[in-house]
Amino acid sequence: MRRHRLFSLGLASLLLALGTAQAQAPLPSTFILDNGLQVVVQHDPRAPVVTAQLVVRVGSSHEPPGQSGLSHALEHLLFRGSEKTEPGEFSRIVERLGGRDNAYTTPDYTVYHLTLPSERLEVALELGADLLSGARLADEEFVREIEAVLAERRESIDDFPTERLHELWLAQAFPASGYRTPVIGWPQDIERLSPNALRNWYRSWYAPNNASLVVVGDVQGEQVKKLAERHFGRLPARQLPTSMPPLELQNPGARTVHIEDLHSTPYLLMGFNVPSRATAQAPQDVAALRLTAALLASGRSARLPLRLEREQPLLQQIDVRYAAIARGDALFSLSAHINASQPAPLATLEHALRAQLQQLKDTPPTVAEVERARNRLLADEVFARDALEGQAGDLAEYLGSALPLAWRADAETELHAVTAQQVQHVAQTYFTRERLTTAYLTTPEPPHE
């Protein structure tokens, strides 16, 4: 099943030296075809394998009210027949060649990716160009596929109270921007989608000048350029709809949402409106927020697992996220379940989490904590280069958000420079009540307290 995702995953690749020459990833080569298609090639000769990703800059945040889910439904439909392939044949071709493929939709962009032996790269590019321009979007395939999308929604969202809560929370957390729209779409909107709406959406956004092609692996830029020109070069550039980066209110006010479910372990989700790398006045704040997230919850010895999971058995599955790469504003979120084996009220957990955030505001973290978090983030960026798909996904994140690739290297420098005082500073600046949306999942109150 193709997965949508609400947060984009992936890490900025390492460009700075870590003390040895080979710590430097080679710079990707970039060129733009006459029709505006941006092509980025990252050479990695370790194995004769290549990953190709087609990134189209349209996602749920572009969708008008009442038509949520358009981008994701379109992603599904693109595999159901084109000029060159029969419905369902795309994945079969890739599998028969020993490769793998998948696709996902985010709020900002949609990605189609294939991994194949490198000498078969041309098949991937021909398939990619066919996705971008040759989709059939036939009525009968729409009817079948929209059922699949509705089933996906039921199985991946509606049957999971934490997922439903997450959707409602996003709708509160982004009062002014398209980031409130769920990637998969609201159920009543999915039911109202039409083949024509999808065709219009496809014609509006699927153009070479709104897409990037990322190729990572055992290939050279020149070779990719030749193949890209052969398969994508004939596609005409098109006038694109106007689209503004999603920006949020400076002080949206405290918001809450609450749902109940009889069978769930109580769960808390908190999110602060914060800038992303694209919208931050001070890029250093972004690096400090990234480091704060790692300091709080990355690893068993991070603050929250240590203090609220083992020292006090209050929570389980603590998760702290900050997606810094986006075309608009972002959230800094914390979520956790209560400890089911020693259940305390959800309010106790909320109180404890808030107290931990207050402590960050009151006292800068120790140097050792900052170093631990920083070392972890830096090492992760090296480890992420082990998988071609990881490298390509990281590039896709920047390209899909239309951010300069040079910022990947800057992110590294900025991370190196973060101090304990800056962590305290971003905590004081952003972890405020006016920026906070809190979501609660509880079991219905028993008749007595």
Partner 1 sequence: MTEQTRTPRYTLMGLVTLAAVVALVLFLAKPAQSDSAAQPASTAAKPANTLQSLAELDGKPPASRALDIQTWNTAEGAKVLFVEARELPMFDLRLTFAAGSSQDGDSAGVATLTNAMLNEGVAGKDVTAIAQGFEGLGADFGNGAYRDMAVASLRSLSAADKRDPALKLFAEVVGKPTFPEDALARIKNQMYAGFEYQKQNPGKLAGIELFEKLYGSHPYAHPSDGDAKSIKPITLEQLRAFHAKAYAAGNVVIALVGDLSRDEAQAIAAQVSAALPKGPALAKLPQPAEPKPGAYHIDFPSKQTHLMLAQLGIDRADPDYAALNLGNQILGGGSFGTRLMSEVREKRGLTYGVYSVFSPMQVRGPFMINLQTRAELSEGTLKLVQDLLRDYLKSGPTQQELDDAKRELAGSFPLANASNASIVGQLGAIGFYNLPLTYLQDYMQQSQKLTTEQVRDALNKHLAADKMVIVTAGPSVPQKELPPPTDNPTEQPLGVPEH
Considering only residues 121 to 150 of the shown chain, the ones binding partner 1 according to CB under 8 A are: 122-123, 125-127, 130, 144-145, 147-148
- Pick the closer one to partner 1 by CB: 83 or 434: 83
Q: Please, what is the minimum distance in Å from the beta carbon of residue 449 to partner 1?
A: 26
- Pick the closer one to partner 1 by CB: 208 or 305: 305
Q: What part of residues 23-52 is at the interface with partner 1 (CB under 8 A)?
A: 23, 44-49
Is 120 a binder of partner 1 (CB under 8 A)? Answer: yes
DSSP letter at 155 equals I
Q: Which of 29, 30, 35, 102 binds partner 1 (CB under 8 A)?
A: 102
- Pick the closer one to partner 1 by CB: 157 or 294: 294
H runs (alpha helix) in 384-419: 388-400, 406-417
Q: Please, what is the Cα angle at 199 between 240 and 207, to 5 degrees? A: 35
Q: Which of 22, 239, 242, 281 binds partner 1 (CB under 8 A)?
A: 22
Question: Among candidates 82, 102, 83, which has minimal Cα distance to 91?
Answer: 102
Is 192 a binder of partner 1 (CB under 8 A)? Answer: no
Q: Please, what is the minimum distance in Å from the beta carbon of residue 375 to partner 1?
A: 4
Q: Which of 29, 35, 91, 243 binds partner 1 (CB under 8 A)?
A: 91
Is 226 a binder of partner 1 (CB under 8 A)? Answer: no
Residue length, the chain? 449
Question: Among candidates 226, 224, 233, which has minimal Cα distance to 29?
Answer: 224
Is 152 a binder of partner 1 (CB under 8 A)? Answer: yes
Radius of gyration of the chain (CA): 23
The contacts of residue 147 (CB under 8 Å, 6+ apart) are none
Q: Please, what is the minimum distance in Å from the beta carbon of residue 159 to partner 1?
A: 10
Q: Which of 59, 63, 75, 303 binds partner 1 (CB under 8 A)?
A: 75
Q: What part of residues 374-403 is at the interface with partner 1 (CB under 8 A)?
A: 375-380, 382-383, 385-388, 397
Amino acid in position 72: H
Question: Among candidates 87, 91, 53, 45, which has minimal Cα distance to 393?
Answer: 53
Q: Please, what is the minimum distance in Å from the beta carbon of residue 86 to partner 1?
A: 5
Token pair of 328, please? 């608009």
Question: Among candidates 296, 293, 282, 295, which has minimal Cα distance to 410?
Answer: 282
Cα–Cα distances (Å) from 164 to 114, 190, 271, in that order, read 31, 16, 16
- Pick the closer one to partner 1 by CB: 175 or 229: 229
Token pair of 395, please? 């590039």
- Pick the closer one to partner 1 by CB: 253 or 301: 301
- Pick the closer one to partner 1 by CB: 298 or 422: 298
Alpha-carbon distance of 119 to 6, in angstroms, equals: 34
Question: Among candidates 223, 319, 286, which has minimal Cα distance to 415?
Answer: 286
Is 64 a binder of partner 1 (CB under 8 A)? Answer: no
Q: What part of residues 271-300 is at the interface with partner 1 (CB under 8 A)?
A: 290, 293-294, 296-300
- Pick the closer one to partner 1 by CB: 300 or 448: 300
Is 171 a binder of partner 1 (CB under 8 A)? Answer: no
- Pick the closer one to partner 1 by CB: 350 or 389: 389
Is 323 a binder of partner 1 (CB under 8 A)? Answer: yes
Alpha-carbon distance of 228 to 128, in angstroms, equals: 10
3-state helix, strand, coil in the chain (%, to 5): 45, 20, 35
